[in-house]
């Protein structure tokens, strides 16, 4: 028996991380509903999952559109009968947001992540919880990188952003744990397999007066294991948390930072 047999998962985000999570959930037996803003990415992911024997439906969706998110969640429950897992993997480009001293950062650049990430997490989470309460179970999973716990120069509002999402996770667990709903944040370093690391580390290399390679090496050196979290480690952890094996984990972060955060 697969670890997520008969479970229904909605994954928000058609980037590298969201697609990897969708594939992992489908591989473990879940019926996956993948949403995103790029039809070509959604179509490619759906084809790859179906070829591998997984079950998936896709929808073009803006996670900041309250009405669209509610309508999609209602359609998921109508089709699949329930919602067991909600995973939020949305993201925005970091150029113009990171790599700039706070005193030179515009209010718009400072505010963008603070509105985009927490609001999208709230909108999607609220839609899921409304259905999970009725069925008496479910799990909300988010991904929060290290700036949520370790502040460093030139990261703009990202530390506040990730900390807000971790606080939302704790609030969900405290308020709805009695209804059988769990909330967990997966805490990682930058992920080497994702294109975002190339953008962000290049930005910080320039901001610190060094090269991408040197900045990357410095970040690796801050971990106990001298390596960054891999995408496979993130997806494996997500499957574990989403499965019945992770039923005791809620209101907390699962630390996957290889010792960068202790």
Would 261 be classed as within a structural domain? no
Would 182 be classed as within a structural domain? yes
**Using one digit for the tens of pLDDT, what is the confidence trace for 134-166?**
999 999 999 999 988 988 899 999 999 999 999
In angstroms, the CA 95 to CA 240 distance is 33
Tokens of 149: 């716990």
- CA angle 217/220/226 to nearest 5° reads 120
Would 30 be classed as within a structural domain? yes
Would 77 be classed as within a structural domain? yes
Would 202 be classed as within a structural domain? no
In angstroms, the CA 57 to CA 55 distance is 7
**CATH number where 156 lies:** 3.40.50.720
Give the global pTM: 0.96
Question: E strands along 146-255, which residues?
Answer: 181-188, 252-255
Would 221 be classed as within a structural domain? no
Tokens of 79: 């089709």
* Beta bridge partners of residue 57, listed in sequence order: 33
Would 209 be classed as within a structural domain? no
**Cβ pair 260, 150 in contact under 8 A:** yes
Strand order in the sheet with 181-188: 55-60, 31-36, 8-12, 85-88, 138-145, 181-188, 252-255
Q: What is the pLDDT along the chain (262 residues), one digit of tens a residue?
A: 899 999 999 999 999 999 999 999 999 999 999 999 999 999 999 999 999 999 999 999 999 999 999 999 999 999 999 999 999 999 999 999 999 999 999 999 999 999 999 999 999 999 999 999 999 999 999 999 998 898 889 999 999 999 999 999 999 999 999 999 999 999 999 999 998 888 888 888 898 899 888 888 989 999 999 999 999 999 999 999 999 999 999 999 999 999 999 9
**63: helix, strand or coil:** coil
Count of structural domains within the chain: 1
Would 204 be classed as within a structural domain? no
Q: Which domain holds residue 12?
A: 8-190+230-255
**Using one digit for the tens of pLDDT, what is the confidence trace for 175-186?**
999 999 999 999
């Amino acid at each position: 028996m697969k670890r997520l047999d008969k479970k229904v998962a909605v994954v928000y985000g058609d980037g590298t991380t969201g697609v990897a999570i969708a594939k992992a959930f489908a591989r473990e037996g879940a019926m996956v509903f993948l949403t995103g803003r790029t039809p070509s990415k959604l179509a490619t992911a759906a084809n790859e999952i179906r070829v591998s024997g997984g079950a998936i439906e896709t929808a073009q969706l803006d996670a900041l559109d309250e009405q669209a998110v509610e309508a999609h969640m209602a359609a998921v429950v109508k089709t699949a009968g329930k919602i067991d897992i909600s995973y939020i993997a949305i993201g925005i480009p970091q150029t113009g947001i990171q790599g700039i001293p706070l005193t030179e950062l515009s209010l718009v650049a400072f505010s963008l992540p603070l509105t985009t990430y927490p609001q999208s997490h709230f909108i999607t989470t609220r839609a899921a919880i409304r259905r999970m309460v009725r069925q008496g179970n479910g799990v909300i999973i988010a991904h929060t990188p290290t700036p949520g716990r370790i502040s460093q120069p030139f990261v703009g509002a990202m530390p506040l952003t990730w900390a807000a999402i971790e606080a939302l996770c704790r609030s969900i667990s405290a308020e709805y744990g009695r209804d059988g709903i769990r909330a967990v944040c997966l805490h990682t370093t930058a992920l080497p397999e994702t294109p975002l690391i190339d953008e962000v580390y290049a930005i910080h290399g320039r901001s610190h007066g060094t090269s991408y390679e040197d900045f990357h090496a410095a970040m690796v050196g801050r971990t106990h294991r001298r390596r960054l979290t891999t995408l496979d480690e993130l997806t494996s952890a997500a499957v574990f948390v989403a499965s019945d094996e992770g039923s005791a984990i809620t209101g907390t972060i699962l630390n996957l930072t290889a010792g960068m955060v202790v």
